[in-house]
Amino acid sequence: MAFAYFPHTPDDIGQMLRRSGVSSIEELYSDVPESLRFKGEYDLPDAMSEDEVRRYFEDLDRRNARLTVFCGAGAYDHYTPAAVKHIISRSEFQTAYTPYQAEISQGTLRYIFEFQSMICELTGMDCANASMYDGPTSAAEAMLMCTASSKKRKKVLISSSLLPNVIDVIRTYTGYHGVQLDTIEISDGVTSISDLQLKLAGNDVAGVLVPGINRYGIIEDLAGFADAAHSAGALLAVYSDPSSLAVLKTPGEWGADIACGDAQSFGVPLSFGGPYVGFLACRMELMRKLPGRIVGATTDLDGKRSFVLTLQAREQHIRREKATSNICSNQSLMALFVTVYMSLMGPDGLKKVNDLSYGGAHYLHDRLLETGKFAEVFDRPFLKEFVLRTSIDIPTLQKALLDNGFFGALRTEEGYVSFCVTERRTKAEIDAMVGVIDAIG
Amino acid sequence: MKYYDKLIFELSEEGRCGYSLPENRWEDNTDSIPSGLRRTLRPNLPQVSEPDAVRHYTNLSDMNFGVDTGFYPLGSCTMKYNPKINEEIAGMAGFQGIHPLQPRSTVQGVMKLYGDLSAALSAITGMAAFTLNPFAGAHGELTGLMIMRRYHICRGDMKRTRVIVPDSAHGTNPASAAVCGLEVVQVKSLPDGTIDVDHLKTLLDDTVAGIMMTNPNTLGLFETRIEEIADLVHACGGLLYYDGANMNPLLGVARPGDMGFDIMHLNLHKTFSTPHGGGGPGAGPVGVTKRLESCLPLPRIDGEEPEGNAGRVSGFMGNFGVLMKAYAYILMLGKQNIRLAGPLATLNANYIKESLKDCYRLPIDRVCKHEFVFDGLAGQSTGVTTLDVAKRLLDYGFHAPTVYFPLLFHQSIMIEPTETESKETLDSFIEAMRKIAVEAATDPDMVRSAPHGTPVRRPDETAAARHPVLKYSLTAKSI
């Protein structure tokens, strides 16, 4: 019966049963009613050796197509420096629990503190939490923060130009929580400030969420949004691609009260959508409404600089049924991932990632227009992602790309096609994809 | 562990870099973006070389304790060994490059994994179908409650807005209910921590959406009247939610689906061996019975979008990387070894309990499942508290148990050893606990001032909360 993960020998079991005062393991389950005992055989595969398990996954791997990615829509193919993967695979980080015992968790606590600091630096906010599950859930929690901060208001407004999955998750959370949700119209590819002002006029809105870069890849000009929200007594939250914040105006500079988004763009592998890592940051006045873990600096008995989980009175295990968020664990190891990434990149590396992505995306954009098969939809600034109209039948276009190993031309709800270029895409790859499109009859 | 005091910002010097990127080959760069849309100041991120960064984070890791470092008897957290094959598989390059919006025809391997894993979880739990989208246990709870509400709403039964939660429940239970817009009603526990069925009967009416339970409960005791509870709740039109945090001892023994539960979540980072990562990423799949299948959230494994779906709770389809690790573990165990996991976890817990109950107060003295709770030291005359015992354990090279939870006792010490610990490890833990009991009597000041050998000692939590320093700045440097 020996099995690699179970150290018990028959002799161990015998001795342990004697100490436990029972004659069989069965007896330890004497309180489980006979009628509830599972007596059959589990409908599971037979136990495998490691090599057999590896073969199972190698077989899975072969069933997936290997594609060169020219899509974004909330998941971006940025490069992962080798050192990042090396650090997050250290078992001292990987096999630790939430850092409740500060004395033997200073490693985790310190990187979370660094993560919070870097998120604040990028977003222009005063405080950040230890991370969220992903971008869409961080946005939903941002909306619940707004209503929790308001005495009476139970309504939030979100821009229709947010990514569809962000809108859907917010709709789910607010719907069950009893928060009224309304959307702000899009005008010429961006959030309509006049529609926002109209919908704020009732002075009944707790919070507003708009994207920094929207579902069409357009960089939104958020001038006037904070004033509009604040003068109607509402908070402003901005949903950002944090990688872009190395060059773009920060939520703080736009006057926002809350910043949220997905930090997957910091080199986190696409990995079919997870694990990623959300972030949530806010102005000091909202600190006590921020959900999740927060790490703070302090000193120990000997006066040494130390870090601890702090402000726990906010959290679910204290507030229980009075809680406005139930998050406890987050995506800690992925917070370490992006912290190491940001450390290696620094301000110049991040700028360079954005420059390369921008340059490649604009090159592809222009090459596609040159084919004569695409037309501009919006004449607005974009960073690494853009939409076009196409005269090609979209399924035909998508199939031609897939057949040639490219994943591009994601169809939007409006019937446009969307493309994304990161620093990983070479000129040869772009030219090859455009060549495929050129060849479509 | 040695104390290392740097933050990455303190290693930064202008002009250093830790990246390697291609030269810019394009005509345009972000300087072409209108200046009104660009940030004015360069972000103050660190500028460090790769070797400096790697050494910094390696030094940080040296101040951390993980399952690979030593025994982690943290109650209700199931800190079992995290097999290394799991990591190797999740790290395979092919899986990492898959975009979540790729057409299903290009991700047949991924979809096979979703199908195989959810079928395995169904076999293990007795539930009909699963969503693998929730990112964590608490997220699974919230998703499960959304399914519960959706089910009642779809039947036009709008007045079911109350959910019954035992007073001994994990804090996430009432918090998830509140976030889901449900009113929490507490059902009392009997002195042994099991549900007071007579009190439960008085709470059941047509406003009850359901009840949330763990089984075994937070004291590691099996709810022997579960079938009766299920009948009562179902008879009033409510549903039973199973919090899978305590599923581990039932592997090979019993299935929540057979006990009458309608909805449940599993913590793959507990029962199914994926690493906790210092607080995530985990995964909290939610299983349901046949009649609730249409309420599972989007996107679904079957690709359908039935009208009764609970909505979307995640950007994409959950923590795929974590799901792979859990399935690798299930394949390693197979139908044979999985039967041993629960019983061995239970044996380990009972062995510790019986070996220490003369030195630590055992409020409920009967067989436990995977975990049990002491109520502090047996001899309390010197005033040594549970916190002191926990801190002193760190000096002996063990992680502390869960302390001051459950709230049913004042000095709770909750111990869960899991099945992957050997008798020798348990014996050395027992020996340390016994020594601490002696030290508490003979040298209480030494125990009260523990730990003595850790990188830092009892950081001042009160000061941290009173004067929050939550990010690095010049003032942070001086503290």
**pLDDT tops 60 at residue B112:** yes
CATH of domain B84-329: 3.40.640.10
Q: Do B149 and A427 touch (CB under 8 A)?
A: no
Domain hosting residue A123, numbered range = 82-341
Same domain, A355 and A337: no
Question: For residue A240, what are the β-bridge partners?
Answer: A261
- Is residue A92 domain-shared with residue A232, that is, in the same domain? yes
Nearest C-alpha neighbor of B427 from the set A96, A1, A28, A8: A8
Average pLDDT of the segment spanning B186-212: 94
- How far is the C-alpha of A356 from the C-alpha of B265, rounded, in Å? 43
CB B198 within 8 A of CB B225: no
Same domain, A218 and A231: yes
More confidently predicted of B479 and B279: B279
> What is the per-residue burial (b if ≥16 Cβ within 10 Å, else e) of B193-231?
bbbeeeebeebbeebbbbbbbbbbbbbbbbbeebeebbe
Q: Which of A285, A307, A341 is the last residue of a domain?
A: A341
Same domain, A290 and A336: yes
Indicate if the alpha-carbon torsion angle B295, B301, B306, B309 is positive or negative: positive
A50 domain residue, yes or no = no
Q: Which of A306, A341, A376 is the last residue of a domain?
A: A341
Treating both helix axes as pointing N-terminal to C-terminal, what angle do A427-438 and A394-403 enclose, rounded to 10 degrees? 130
pLDDT band at B136 (very low <50, low <70, confident <90, very high): very high
CA–CA distance, A17 with B348 (Å, rounded to integer): 9
Name the pTM for this structure. Answer: 0.97
Give me chain A's average pLDDT, please: 97
Q: Is a pLDDT exceeding 80 seen at residue A436?
A: yes
Separation CA A94–CA A102 (nearest Å): 16
Specify which residues B286 forms β-bridges with: B131, B265
Type of residue at B398: F
Q: Are residues A331 and A374 in the same domain?
A: no
CA B469 to chain A, closest CA, distance in angstroms equals 5
Where does a domain end: A288, A320, A341? A341
A78 in contact with B at a CB cutoff of 8 Å?
A: no
Cβ <8 Å between B468 and A127 = yes
Res B476: pLDDT: 38
Q: Does A428 touch chain B (CB under 8 A)?
A: no
- Paired tokens of A134: 């992903």
Same domain for A202 and A126?
A: yes
The verdict on residue A308 lying in a domain is yes
Contact B449 A171 (CB under 8 A): no
Backbone angles phi, psi at A120, to 5 degrees: -60, -45
Chain segment B196-206, per-residue pLDDT in tens:
999 999 999 99
Task: Determine contact: B22 vs chain A, CB below 8 A.
Answer: yes
Domain residue extents for chain B? 3-62, 84-329, 340-465
Is A51 near chain B, with CB under 8 Å?
Answer: no
Sort strands B286-288 and B129-131 into parallel, antiparallel or unpaired. antiparallel
B477–A contact, CB cutoff 8 A = no
Sequence-distant (6+) residues with CB within 8 A of A116 are: A127, A128, A129, A130, A281, A294, A295, B470, B471
Residue A291 within any structural domain of the chain: yes
- Contact between B18 and A345 using a beta-carbon 8 Å cutoff: yes
**A316 part of a folded domain:** yes
Averaged confidence pLDDT in chain B? 95
Strand order of the sheet with strand A410-411?
Answer: A374-376, A385-390, A417-420, A410-411
Tell me the C-alpha distance between B73 and B91, whole Å: 28
What's phi and psi for B123, nearest 5 deg? -65, -40
Q: List the Cα angle B222/B226/B227 in 5-degree steps.
A: 140
Same domain? A260 vs A384? no
Query: Average pLDDT of B59-73?
Result: 97
Selecting from A96, A172, A250 the residue whose C-beta is nearest the C-beta of B65 gives A96
Residue A19 is assigned to a structural domain of this protein: no
Q: Are residues A86 and A74 both part of a single domain?
A: no
For the cut 90, the answer to whether the pLDDT of residue B474 exceeds it is no
Q: Grade residue A1 by pLDDT with cuts at 50, 70 and 90.
A: low
CATH of the domain at A108: 3.40.640.10
Q: Is A24 exposed, middle or buried (0-12, 13-18, 19+ CB in 10 A)?
A: exposed
Total number of domains constituting chain A:
2
- Residue contacts between A and B (CB atoms, under 8 Å): 705
B477 pLDDT higher than 60: no
CATH number belonging to domain B340-465: 3.90.1150.10
Residues A114 and A251 in one domain: yes
User: What value does the mean pLDDT take over residues B119-140?
Assistant: 98
pLDDT score of B290 = 98
Q: What is the pLDDT of residue A320?
A: 81
In what helix (H) or strand (E) does residue B477 lie, and over which residues does it extend? helix B474-478
As given in the structure block, the two tokens for residue B373 are: 């709770």
Distance from CA of B81 to the nearest CA of A (A): 7
- Same domain, yes or no: A316 and A216: yes
* pLDDT (average), residues A138-153: 96
Domain identity same for A394 and A427: yes
Q: Give pLDDT tens digits for A61-81.
A: 999 999 999 999 999 999 999
Quick one: A180 and A297 in the same domain? Answer: yes
CA-nearest of B291, B455, B466, B430 to A20 is B430
With cut-offs at 50, 70 and 90, classify the pLDDT of residue A315.
confident
Chain B 320-349, residues with CB within 8 Å of chain A CB atoms: 320-322, 324, 328, 330-341, 343-344, 346-348
Q: Is residue A32 part of a domain?
A: no
In a domain, A273, yes or no: yes
Task: Quickly count: other Cβ atoms within 10 Å of residue A413's Cβ.
Answer: 8
Percentage of chain A modeled with pLDDT above 70: 100
Report the C-alpha gap between A355 and A346 in whole angstroms: 14
Residue A37 lies in a domain: no
pLDDT in the model for residue B408: 86
Q: Which whole-number Å values give the CA distances from A54 to A62, A158, B88, B329, in the listed order?
A: 12, 45, 9, 11
d(CA A116, CA B81): 30
Nearest to A323 among B99, B179, B425 (CB): B179
C-alpha distances (whole Å) from A290 to each of A141, A279, A285, B89, B173 are: 9, 11, 10, 36, 20
Rounded Cα–Cα distance for residues A338 and B277 (Å): 14
CA distances to A71, A416, A417, A422 from A374, rounded to whole Å, are: 17, 10, 9, 21
Confidence at residue B170, expressed as pLDDT on a 0 to 100 scale: 83
CATH number where A423 lies = 3.90.1150.10
